[in-house]
Amino acid sequence: MSYRNRGAMTNGNNSVRVSKPKLTVEEQVEHLRGKGVTFDLCSAEQARETLSDKTYYFKLAAYRVLFEKRIGGAHDGEYVGLDFGHLRDLAAIDHMLRYTLLPMTLDIEHFAKVRLMREVTERADEDGYSIVADYLESLSERNRSIREKEMERLKRDRYSGGMARKYDDEKPVWVLIELLSFGGFINFYLFCADRWKDRRMRSEHYLFRQAQAVRNACAHSTDIINGFTPGETSTIRTPREVALALDEMGINRRARRAKMANPRVQQITMMAFAYREMVAGSHTREMCRGLVDALKHRAVEHADWYTNTDCVVSAYRFLAKVFDNWV
């Protein structure tokens, strides 16, 4: 469903907010045409079919930000060199990107649990129970309440309910990590890092936060590529070990800083580094490698369409090199 201007409304700050009514599929196509979008790479009929049966306007139109607009003149505000075929192609590539990244994040979570359990098992001063009790005790009243409510909900879960009910009173660490969400597990991982004064685990925890954000985006089918715009600037630091690994790949400091300034490129890169560091096993890597190869093949299928879209091309080349070296 898309929208066009209907009238002005005011919000609580007395500023004007425009309310927009829905458009039919035919009106959506005409709205795009009025914005300078052409239908040469993809016909208007194909566009109507895409908007009716394969995706929806708001999701597809999100990729418009990757293209420049005309300033001034009779065509002020219209897009430059944007065809509906671009929108459809970018949406398809983004779909494959999400399906490539998601298994990586799942593997990171699994092997992070493997690493933590190895630490617990090898430490003579850990019995597997006191660490859970100490963790829960360390939480603020609010956070402890959140964890307790999560565990209570899990008792009714089709998959984890039996385990949650069986270990309702006292949970060993190997049960806790099966019941925690990825975000909850990352929080527990940081607690363990501090408990054991393990600097490497603290660094890994920081990487896991980025992997979690990527996983959430993929799992909720959030557009990713539309964030590869040059105007986006990251507010988090790139860990030194990631910067050094990029340098070893032959990416110089200037190029590294330019690419890692983009929040989404940076987050995906840090997730890929976590994958390199955490994930063991040739079969697991072969599966993800196959997904990467399929993505790379699909991404360049219409490479000649993007000669004037540098932000997309440069982000693709950078991430392709990262995946080739780390996955």
pLDDT digits (tens, 9 = 90+) for 162-196: 999 999 989 999 999 999 999 999 999 999 999 99
Q: Which two tokens stand for residue 196?
A: 């054991």
pTM, entire model: 0.90
What percent of the chain clears pLDDT 70, i.e. is strictly above it? 94
DSSP state letters, 33-61: HHTT-B-SSS-HHHHHHIIIII--HHHHH
Residue corresponding to tokens 């859970």:
132
Q: Report the SS3 class of residue 299.
A: helix
The mean pLDDT value of the chain amounts to 92
Amino acid at 256: R
Q: How confident is the model at residue 75 (pLDDT cuts 50, 70, 90)?
A: confident
CA geometry: angle at 29 spanning 23 and 31, to 5°? 65
Categorize the per-residue pLDDT at 19 as very low, low, confident or very high, splitting at 50, 70 and 90.
confident
Assess whether pLDDT exceeds 60 at residue 253.
Answer: yes
pLDDT digits (tens, 9 = 90+) for 52-66: 999 999 999 999 999
User: Which residue in this structure is represented by tokens 């430059």?
Assistant: 80
One-letter identity of residue 11: N
pLDDT band for position 9 (cuts 50, 70, 90):
very low
Q: pLDDT at residue 4 above 60?
A: no
Residue carrying the six token digits 């002020």: 76
Q: Is the per-residue pLDDT at 272 higher than 90?
A: yes
Tell me what the mean pLDDT of segment 238-244 comes to: 96
pLDDT of 160 above 70: yes
Nearest-angstrom CA–CA distance, 97 and 225: 9
pLDDT at 22: 87
Q: Which tokens in the block code for residue 78? A: 């219209």
Answer whether 96's CB lies under 8 Å from 298's CB.
Answer: yes
Q: Give the per-residue pLDDT at 11.
A: 52
Give the pLDDT of residue 17. 65
The CA distance from 184 to 135, in Å, is: 11
| SS3 per residue for 182-247 | HHHHHHHHHHHHHHHCCHHHHHHHHHHHHHHHHHHHHHCCCCCHHHCCCCCCCCCCCCHHHHHHHH
